[in-house]
Amino acid sequence: MYYEMITIKTEREIEIIAEGGRILAKIIKELEKKVRPGITTKELDRLAESLILKSGGKCSFKGYEGFPACLCTSINEEIVHAVPSSRMIIEGDIISLDLGLFYKGYHTDMAVTLAVGKVKPEVLRLIRATKKALKRGIKKIRPGNKIGDIGNTIQRYVESQGFNVVRELCGHGIGKEIHEEPQILNYGKRHKGFEIKEGMVLCLEPMVTIGDWGIKKSKDGHGFETQDGSLSCHFEHTIAVIKGGAKILTMLK
């Protein structure tokens, strides 16, 4: 019954999503170049929207559940969905850039976390561990595996590095809607959950904290941040399930 809610994409649909994914990856690369001490998150948002409109696409997030911007800019203890503002990025910050593109009728979603200038070795280790957790999770995406295999792999690796995965936020399916079924937790049990099938398009997005995994709503009404004020890191790719494995759609060729 549940599988009726999970949309299986055709080869043509995956080609369109992949086209949008390459555009999104290129835009994220342009934004990365602009991240430096002194720039405001609102400036990054304006650039993101300009680049998306020039590409022939639209912002997936703007207006979604009332979100007022195109780009999510989460700094330090902010985990996801922080609203861009006049806040200036400073040396030693880490910032997550999370961006969605609606292109030719389909969404793609991607996030990266960047260190601003010089940061402590433990912070660099957090960023590396989160990025590696995403790679390990992607390796578990293949027909016949279960959703729980992804979350279990991410959780075990993150915890082996001395960090924690956020439990109350998750990855998701994607396509004509920005958030589709299934939900993809960053923790879980092997061989549990729904079977991964060819034609699914999924967003994996490990959210990892240096401290406790508890979260709270940010003052902006949209973002989430760590309850204990500890640093958080976030990476995300849009991935298609293909015969024998997975294809990352939000990558430059």
Residues 94-113: tens digit of each pLDDT:
999 999 999 999 999 999 99
Length of the chain: 253
Residues 4, 10, 15, 17, Cα dihedral to 10°: -10
Question: In this structure, which amino acid lies at residue 175?
Answer: G
Q: In this structure, is residue 26 part of a structural domain?
A: yes
In whole angstroms, what is the distance from residue 59 CA to residue 69 CA? 8
User: What local confidence, expressed as pLDDT, does residue 36 receive?
Assistant: 97
User: What local confidence, expressed as pLDDT, does residue 206 receive?
Assistant: 98
Q: In this structure, is residue 2 part of a structural domain?
A: no
Question: In this structure, which amino acid lies at residue 71?
Answer: L
User: What local confidence, expressed as pLDDT, does residue 244 receive?
Assistant: 87
User: What local confidence, expressed as pLDDT, does residue 1 receive?
Assistant: 31
pTM of the full structure: 0.96
Give yes or no for a contact between 183 and 170, defined as CB atoms under 8 angstroms apart.
yes
pLDDT one digit per residue (tens) for the chain, 253 residues: 345 589 999 999 999 999 999 999 999 999 999 999 999 999 999 999 999 999 999 999 999 999 999 999 999 999 999 999 999 999 999 999 999 999 999 999 999 999 999 999 999 999 999 999 999 999 999 999 999 999 999 999 999 999 999 999 999 999 999 999 999 999 999 999 999 999 999 999 999 999 999 999 999 999 999 999 999 999 999 999 999 899 999 998 6
User: What local confidence, expressed as pLDDT, does residue 253 receive?
Assistant: 66
User: What local confidence, expressed as pLDDT, does residue 2 receive?
Assistant: 44
CATH number at residue 155: 3.90.230.10
Residues 69-79: tens digit of each pLDDT:
999 999 999 99
User: What local confidence, expressed as pLDDT, does residue 5 receive?
Assistant: 86
Residue whose entry in the numeric block shows the structure tokens 């998150």: 41
Residue 57 belongs to domain spanning: 7-248
In whole angstroms, what is the distance from residue 191 CA to residue 89 CA? 42
Q: In this structure, is residue 253 part of a structural domain?
A: no
Q: In this structure, is residue 38 part of a structural domain?
A: yes
Structure tokens at 175: 């396509």
What's the domain count of the chain?
Answer: 1
User: What local confidence, expressed as pLDDT, does residue 112 receive?
Assistant: 98
User: What local confidence, expressed as pLDDT, does residue 252 receive?
Assistant: 81
